[in-house]
Amino acid sequence: MTERPKTDTDDGEPRGPSIDAGAELDPVHPVAPPRPDGPGRPAGPDRPAGRAAGLTSAEVAERVARGEVNDVPVRSSRSTGEIVRANVFTRFNALIGILWAIVLLVAPIQDSLFGFVIIANTGIGIIQELRAKRTLDGLAVIGEARPVVRRDGAATGIPTSGIVLGDVVELGPGDKVVVDGEIVEADNLEVDESLLTGEADPVLKHPGDPVMSGSFVVAGGGAFRATKVGREAYAAQLAEEASRFTLVQSELRTGISTILKYVTWMMVPTAIGLIISQLVVKENDFKDSVARTIGGIVPMIPEGLVLLTSVAFAIGVIRLGRKQCLVQELPAIEGLARVDVVCLDKTGTLTEGGMNVTELRPLGDADEGRVRTVLGALGASDPRPNASLRAVVDAYPGTPGWRATAALPFSSARKYSGATFEENGAGGPTSWLLGAPDVLLPEGDPALDGIDALNEQGLRVLLLTRVDGAPALDAPGVSDGAVPTALVVLEQRLRPDAAETLTYFAAQDVSAKVISGDNAVSVGAVAAKLGLPGADRTVDARQLPSEREEMARALESASVFGRVSPQQKRQMVGALQSHGHTVAMTGDGVNDVLALKDADIGVAMGSGSEATRAVAQIVLLNNSFATLPSVVAEGRRVIGNITRVATLFLTKTVYSVLLAILVVCTQVEYPFLPRHLTLISTLTIGVPAFFLALAPNKERARPNFVRRVMRYSVPSGTIAAAATFVAYLLARSHYSGPGALAAETSVATLTLFLVSMWVLAIIARPYTWWRVGLVLLMGFCFLLVLAVPALQNFFALKLVGTTLPWAAVAISAVGAVLLEIAWRLVDRRFPA
């Protein structure tokens, strides 16, 4: 990376840390050292006259040799070994492996097909996760923070892992403190330690003060010397864990784990009863009894469900990676699909980065030439100008001869900045403030006349005020009595894809809330241009109630909010969540960190500050708000399709358990060999589920995954088991002689296949050409097995006569009708 984040964004737009009329903090500044002390950057109690010297190359090499390097790995994904272990060493794989080994000893190879299928499925899972790992690792390198250190007299951006003990690391607004250290330079340096202490108020740092990894800069600048690196910096380890790609808990994964727990409880006693029934009570051929017993146990295990979920997530990561979207936590794909409220910054999200000065309006008897000079001096006093001040600097270059004796960096809480100058030819020092007009002046001030008209055009307006003397710039009442001097009018450009993205969210029943530090009227004008509903009813966040319930009601009734403070952003997220909403928060500045951390899903821009990227679950490396619909669509595809295929897998588990119970109760031979159920599972579950899990799906994600899956799979499995067992009992009463058991098994297999195919046909709805083709292809494959003698022999399937085969078809037709009735009753009685 050749850039590192600048902070102080106004609504998410990349800007530097400076003076903005209500902008929030800026996220992308070039890697360049802060200016040395000189004109406009005075030495003082917080700013030593000389810069702290960094290490030499020789000193760095010496520390590396001693192991004093920040070698804590921050991985974007699981290691290869972890991926292999997670896919291979599962309790179900262990159980299936034991059963497979037994079948290999006592039965033909056809009955051990289920073991080969598991090996193939596990291999597919490993390959897909490794592909996802490569994608994530590559994206993580692109988005990696590169702190600036001083070495050999120059400032250089290096990877976080390259910092050594004693390095002098420079800090600017939005920079994350990556190792523990001690402040050596401070220029009004304010550090937010909320992620460590929970205290949201920033802490003013002075030389000699400690600074902990995991905190981040909200205003000012400076440098610190690294005192603890690597694993000695405990807070750095916490930050690593917080920002690492992990397979954390999600409703989908938790639901599947719950299902598997219940399945295990049902499977164990049922399997024991089946073993006793087939090996002790019935005096059958031992090897055949073992094979049929294992044939009854294996399909109880929904082993493919976990695998398919991992594959679906992994492929989702790969697809999003191609769109420059870094998913730092897999369930974030799922989470964003469940979102029903998305909170957006204006600048950098709805508008593009960069601004232009379109007008300068001197107020009163102010001289325009002097105003231009003052603006140039203010721009020169800030080493990292944000987008607003950068536009001012471009329009009004600095003038030599102005010496700053004090400076106040921009803060999104204050919404203004300033400096005190010793002017050439002036009688004494004069302080100047630049920021939000309605913050610097009391309501009703004549200087505010006409500003609303500019805001209604979507323009941003800065106010320049003069304060005589040299008051403390950070004093609460410093703007009292300030003399309005000029208005600076800035123009922002709308993102061409913003309106389309907002339209997408509206069509998907996702409410968009624009929350900005800018003037509410200006924010509303921008939102109106994009066609956002409710843009004509903007709310000044300073008028919002502080009580959570009242704030939540206010948020429900409006969509556009201006003059929102960083702490209010966090409160707004919490208020929406208290009303049952799943909230996504987008941002790129340090003022967004607390809200991003508290939101259900945090989305950071790739050009955002290091702190925002560290706490966000999703990073849009291309800085495009238009990427979010792709993430939502991918999440909905994963959740909707996994819900579909989970019903298939659980239907199989239900009918397998019920068939085993019926066999135990009636003391008959288990109707299937492993090869029969492998064939049925492959054609009605395994192959179709793979394609259905990866197909497009725009259905909105809904909660209660376990309930929604079980309400369909239980009646479906019950009907399938009942139809199969009835056909099996009819066949037992019809056939006799040496080949009777094979004929009975064939009838039962035909019945179970047809009923399972109807379950598949229901789940495949709504039909498309490829879904219909998939169902028909599976049916054709089964007919091929019945028609080709070699396949008949391989799978031990041969329909004898016509009476029972047609009876099986008739029973299956009744089962299909019952399935349709059951699904409709479930939809009516237990709506999702």
b/e sequence 226-235, b meaning 16+ C-beta within 10 Å: bebbbeebeb
> What residues does 620 pair with on adjacent strands?
325, 605
Burial of 64 (0-12, 13-18, 19+ CB in 10 A): middle
Pick the closest to residue 618 from 143, 92, 221, 239 (CA basis).
Answer: 143
Contact 219, 190 (CB under 8 A): yes
Contact 647, 302 (CB under 8 A): no
Crossing angle of the two packed helices 331-338 and 303-321, in degrees rounded to 10: 80
> What residues does 689 pair with on adjacent strands?
none
Contact 2, 146 (CB under 8 A): no
Nearest-angstrom CA–CA distance, 391 and 386 = 8
Nearest-angstrom CA–CA distance, 808 and 727 = 6
The length of the chain is 832
What sign results for the dihedral spanned by CA atoms 108, 111, 114, 117?
positive
Pick the closest to residue 402 from 380, 424, 425 (CA basis).
Answer: 424
With H, G, I as helix, E, B as strand and everything else as coil, classify residue 634: helix
Pick the closest to residue 364 from 461, 483, 275 (CA basis).
Answer: 483
CB atoms within 10 A of CB 401: 13
What is the 3-state secondary structure of 655-686?
HHHHHHHHHHHHCCCCCCCHHHHHHHHHHHHH
Contact 11, 353 (CB under 8 A): no
Nearest-angstrom CA–CA distance, 397 and 665 = 92
Sequence-separated (6 or more) residues with CB below 8 Å from residue 79: none
Instruction: Identify each DSSP E strand in 101-145 by its residue range.
Output: none
> What residues does 824 pair with on adjacent strands?
none
User: Got the DSSP string for 308-374?
Assistant: HHHHHHHHHHHHHHTTTEEESBTHHHHHHHH-SEEEE-SBTTTEEEEEEEEEEEE-TT--HHHHHHH
Contact 544, 375 (CB under 8 A): no
Among 345, 438, 592, 600, the active-site one is: 345
Q: Which two tokens stand for residue 440?
A: 């610097």
Contact 440, 479 (CB under 8 A): yes
Contact 149, 169 (CB under 8 A): yes
Sequence-separated (6 or more) residues with CB below 8 Å from residue 135: 317, 318, 321, 322
How many CA atoms within 13 Å lie on the side-chain side of 347? 39
Pick the closest to residue 487 from 457, 456, 516, 454 (CA basis).
Answer: 454
> What residues does 560 pair with on adjacent strands?
514
**Distance separating the N- and C-terminal Cα atoms of the chain:** 47
Nearest-angstrom CA–CA distance, 796 and 741 = 11
Annotated active-site residue 345? The verdict is yes
Nearest-angstrom CA–CA distance, 515 and 504 = 19
Pick the closest to residue 756 from 831, 694, 808, 697 (CA basis).
Answer: 808
Query: Which residues have a catalytic role annotated?
Result: 345
